[in-house]
Amino acid sequence: MNVELPFAPVDTVIRRNSDELRVSADAAEELARRIQLHGASLAETAAQQAEADGRKTLMAEDFDVETVIDDDELTLPIAPVDRIARLDIDDRYRVSMDARIALADILEDFADNVARAAAILARHADRRTIIDDDIETYFALFE
């Protein structure tokens, strides 16, 4: 699977949740991959909602978002999130800008939660670096 999301903003998300811990490149790559899977799944569900409403455009409310934040508040870039949204849905669907921003916000919150847990797991393992195994362990425990 080709990961659409650049690793640098994902690394930034992990670092803001890691306190003094270091972050391996593999951890950022693994979290980017997990973000992509989650985002594609959310977009597929949103497309089903749009279809049920007779629309071909995904809207923020299809992601259960009532208020859309400013895109300058996000760490994750919008363009790759748009590509992630389109991974598992038909080309006949459009994704509104508000839906892209809403999805990016949801995915950033998701990444923050995973990163916080990965930091706890790294500390528990008595390591000073968050590694991809910490991300994988989080998903093994909670999914």
> How many C-beta atoms lie closer than 10 Å to residue 43's C-beta?
26
Measure the CA dihedral 111/113/115/117, to 10°.
Answer: -150
35-61 pLDDT per residue, tens: 999 999 999 999 999 999 999 999 999
Separation between Cα atoms, residue 10 and residue 75, nearest integer Å = 8
User: pLDDT at residue 103 above 80?
Assistant: yes
Domains annotated on the chain, with CATH: 7-16+23-133 (1.10.20.10)
User: pLDDT at residue 97 above 70?
Assistant: yes
SS3 string of 41-103? HHHHHHHHHHHHCCCCEECHHHHCCCCCCCHHHCCCCHHHHHHHHCCCCCCCCEECHHHHHHH
In the predicted model, what is the mean pLDDT of residues 85-111?
Answer: 96
Residue 22 backbone dihedrals phi, psi, to 5 degrees: -85, 165
Q: Quick one: what percent of the chain has pLDDT higher than 70? A: 99
- State the pLDDT at residue 3: 76
| pTM more than 0.85 | yes
* Structure tokens given for 6: 């650049």
- State the pLDDT at residue 141: 94
* Structure tokens given for 29: 């790559």
Q: Quick one: what percent of the chain has pLDDT higher than 90? A: 92
The conformation of residue 19, written as its DSSP 8-state character, comes to: T
Using pLDDT thresholds of 50, 70 and 90, give the confidence band for residue 4. Answer: confident
